[in-house]
Amino acid sequence: MKMSRILLVEDDETILFALRSALFREGYEILAAGSLAGAEKLAGENPDLIVLDLGLPDGEGLCFLRECREAEGPPVIILTARDGEADIIRGLDMGADDYVTKPFKLGVLLSRIRAALRRSQPDEKGQEAAAERLVCGDVLLDKKETRVQAGGKEIFLTAGEYRLLEILLENKNRTLTRTLLLQKLWDIDGDFVNSNTLTVLIKRLREKLGGDPQRMIKTVRGIGYKAEDGNEA
């Protein structure tokens, strides 16, 4: 299943660290900003949901909310100490999808995040059906049949190679860190997956897919890897 990308906009480092850790454990990909300028920059990374504090050191969070709505951006959950009725009404009227006040219960916030993500993807069953076939360039992974084709020819992968390709294709055109890949690949076939094992899996997968080793599975130096359509510039 594709990992949802969440942008956290929070200037309190303690809260930011706690949220980042909790959401990472839940399997989300995290972007984090402690200022309005940082949030505006990271908005270009196409998050699936934004958790937004209002009192930021360089500006007002509601201004960022307005920008998100004008750009028809993702769902926004306001997370703030402003608990007055007028503040809540204003935030919701300006387009926030939910409003959570501090102090907050982590479990409740996580539940509201899941609900907001579900609402933003109303045709989830249809999406799941389409996601049974993952395509990148001339590579096709059929999840229902557990089969992989490259250039129209079936190729045979180990469980680890298949899972690695599945993760990369589910997150096509997104850079995945080595740490995140290791977390997702943990204990494939009952074996411990370490950094060296990941390097070997990447090498073998590239060899089996054929052609230029970098034609689809790109190395992002110092960060990790991403699956990228060969037709893209």
Evaluate if residue 233 carries a pLDDT over 60: no
pLDDT tens, residue by residue, 44-73: 888 999 999 999 999 899 999 999 988 888
Cα radius of gyration rounded to whole Å, the chain: 20
Describe the crossing of helices 195-209 and 159-170 by its angle, rounded to 10 degrees: 80
Residues 42 and 107 in one domain: yes
Cβ-based burial of 143 (10 A; exposed 0-12, middle 13-18, buried ≥19): middle
Residue 101 lies in a domain: yes
For residue 233, being part of any structural domain is answered with: no
**66: CATH:** 3.40.50.2300
Same-domain status, 91 and 178: no
Sign of CA dihedral 145, 146, 151, 155: negative
pLDDT (tens digit, 9 = 90+) per residue, 1-57?
Answer: 567 899 999 999 999 999 999 998 888 999 999 999 999 999 988 899 999 999 999
Both 115 and 156 in a single domain? no
**170 and 210 fall within a common domain:** yes
Same domain, 110 and 205: no
Q: What is the pTM of this model?
A: 0.55
Number of domains in the chain: 2
Q: What is the CATH number of the domain that holds 162?
A: 1.10.10.10
Rounded to whole angstroms, the Cα distance separating 46 from 174 reads 10
- Same-domain status, 84 and 140: no
Kindly write down the DSSP assignment for every residue of 41-106, as one continuous string. HHGGG--SEEEE-SEETTEEHHHHHHHHHHTT---EEEEES---HHHHHHHHHTT-SEEEESS--H
Looking at the fold, whether 15 and 113 belong to one and the same domain comes out as: yes
Of 89, 122, 155, which one is at a domain's C-terminal end? Answer: 122
Residue 232 included in any domain: no
**Has residue 139 been placed in a domain?**
yes
| CB contact at 8 A, 53 and 9 | yes
**Domain endpoint, select from 122, 146, 166:** 122
Q: Are residues 97 and 178 in the same domain?
A: no
Is the same domain home to 12 and 99? yes
Domain that holds residue 223: 130-227
Integer Cα distance of 116 and 48 in angstroms: 10
